[in-house]
């Protein structure tokens, strides 16, 4: 079996690593890949946005299954394009991927189908948005409608910050066309958790809960990033709350999409805010999370390939998915300055030492190979991931590995998993 993975980040490295362990797979390609992925796959120089080029490559190379990592090609219709040529591909069609591609659409869908979420208003005028902020006050959240790599959901503690966020998104166009419309919603208080499920459009397989750490600095301070670390399971999601999330959010969302003639297959990722015995949707994603995929890959005991294929072919209900007990935790090592400007091309050392460690994987996010060396090539550079008997032991091992890796200006949070330490144990 030949598999093509699309993307170049830590999520795609985790997928490549896990897929490479399947006895069903003879050959893996990744477009475009990175310095870590090339150890498991043949990297091909086709960008993740070149849908026609990717489709042609899949056809010409006899690819049996394509797995799409990032959201942009999904929202651009890559699944529809591949399926038009009878090529099997994992992920939602363009009409379904709109759940992530448009926050306005997602919020209005939740409103129509009574899926729990924060109260909100949508705007295509900066002046009207600011007038609304003056009326309702702060704290409040301002979000760009379109894709912005997880960086355009701005929590504003004052009206001044909220008006500034509107200017950044709509006037200064910091996030490009993603900011032509915005959502302004109430600022929910509680604790966030990532709930991911696989679906074939009808049946679902709920994955163990994860918790991401979006702000760049310790203590959840600073601007949002694509994610500075994650762990699984997340004890904040008890068995009771998991049942509520499954029934009221995941299943309801899939039903809602079917009723609106937007059948959903692939990964449905709901970012939830937990408030006592209630779960509210903050956002949807239409793909595996990054960095959530890294600890999930470490914990997944089953062969991932039949699971992905079952989602494509509509027989997910027949699958039994096994997980390693314990926990896994990922620490992102980022370039100095991220999520703003940063330098590339810094040599990375210490990877060979970490490779000798048991129960540790370094998933590359922003790296490239040059002259036999591994160089930084992005904001998030590495996802150092460890598995242990519990979150405390996985965390200790992950940070031990982080200490062995060096590159100029390396930045990482030192508190990944801190919210879980007082809550263990979780049964997921």
Rounded Cα gap, residues 73 and 280, in angstroms:
27
The confidence score (pLDDT) of residue 424 equals 60
How wide is the angle at C-alpha 155 spanned by C-alphas 143 and 151, nearest 5°?
55
Long-range pairs for 215-220: beta carbons < 8 A, 24 or more residues apart: 216/334, 216/338, 216/339, 216/411, 216/413, 217/413, 218/413, 218/414, 218/415, 219/415
Bridge partners, 268 (sequence order) = 197
The confidence score (pLDDT) of residue 119 equals 96
Q: Which domains does the chain have, with CATH numbers?
A: 2-91 (3.40.50.20), 125-180 (3.30.1490.20), 191-402 (3.30.470.20)
The confidence score (pLDDT) of residue 425 equals 60
Q: Among 17, 10, 18, 45, which residue's Cα sits nearest to residue 31?
A: 45
The confidence score (pLDDT) of residue 150 equals 72
Model confidence pTM above 0.85: yes
Rounded Cα gap, residues 234 and 279, in angstroms:
14
In degrees to the nearest 10, what's the CA dihedral of 285, 299, 334, 224? 30
Rounded Cα gap, residues 263 and 254, in angstroms:
7
Q: Among 329, 362, 328, which residue's Cα sits nearest to residue 348?
A: 362
DSSP calls for 242-303: HHHHIIIIIIHHHHHHHHTT----EEEEEEEEEETTEEEEEEEESS--TTTHHHHHHHB-S-
What residues of the chain score a pLDDT lower than 50? none
pLDDT digits (tens, 9 = 90+) for 408-423: 999 999 999 999 987 7
DSSP calls for 175-195: TGGGGSSEEEEE---SEEEEE
């Amino acid at each position: 079996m030949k598999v093509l993975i699309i993307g170049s980040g830590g999520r795609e490295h985790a997928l490549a690593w896990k897929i490479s362990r399947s006895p069903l797979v003879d050959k893996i390609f990744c477009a475009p890949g990175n310095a870590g992925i090339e150890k498991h796959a043949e990297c091909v120089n086709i960008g993740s946005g070149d849908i026609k080029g990717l489709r042609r490559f899949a056809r010409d190379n006899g690819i049996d299954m394509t797995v799409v990592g990032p959201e942009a090609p999904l929202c651009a219709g890559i699944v529809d394009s591949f399926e038009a040529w009878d090529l099997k591909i994992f992920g939602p069609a363009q009409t379904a991927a709109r759940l992530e591609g448009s926050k306005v659409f997602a919020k209005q869908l939740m409103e129509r189908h009574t899926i729990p979420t924060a109260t909100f208003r949508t705007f295509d005028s900066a002046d009207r948005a600011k007038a609304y902020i003056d009326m309702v006050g702060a704290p409040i959240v301002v979000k760009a409608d379109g894709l912005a790599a997880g960086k355009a959901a701005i929590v504003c503690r004052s009206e001044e910050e909220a008006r500034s966020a509107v200017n950044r998104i709509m006037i200064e166009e910091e996030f490009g066309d993603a900011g032509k419309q915005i959502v302004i919603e109430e600022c929910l208080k509680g604790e966030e958790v990532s709930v991911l499920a696989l679906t074939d459009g009808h049946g679902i397989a709920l994955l163990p809960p994860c918790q991401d750490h979006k702000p760049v600095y310790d203590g959840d301070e600073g601007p949002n990033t694509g994610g500075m670390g994650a762990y699984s399971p997340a004890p904040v999601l008890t068995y009771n709350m998991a049942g509520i999330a499954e029934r009221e959010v995941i299943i309801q969302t899939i039903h809602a999409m079917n009723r609106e003639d937007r059948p959903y297959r692939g990964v449905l990722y709901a970012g939830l805010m937990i408030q006592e015995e209630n779960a509210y949707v903050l956002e949807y994603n239409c793909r595996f999370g990054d960095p959530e995929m890294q600890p999930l890959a470490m914990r997944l005991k089953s062969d991932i390939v039949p699971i992905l294929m079952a989602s494509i072919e509509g027989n997910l209900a027949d699958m039994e998915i096994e997980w390693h007990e314990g926990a896994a935790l990922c620490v992102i090592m980022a370039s100095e300055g991220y999520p703003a400007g940063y330098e590339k091309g810094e040599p990375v050392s210490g990877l060979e030492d970490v490779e000798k460690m048991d129960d540790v994987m370094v998933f590359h996010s922003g790296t490239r190979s040059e002259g036999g060396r591994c160089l930084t090539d992005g904001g998030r550079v590495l996802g150092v991931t460890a598995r242990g008997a519990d979150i405390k032991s996985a965390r200790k091992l992950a940070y031990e590995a982080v200490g062995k890796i060096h590159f100029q200006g390396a930045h990482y949070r030192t508190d990944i998993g801190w919210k879980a330490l007082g809550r263990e144990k979780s049964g997921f």
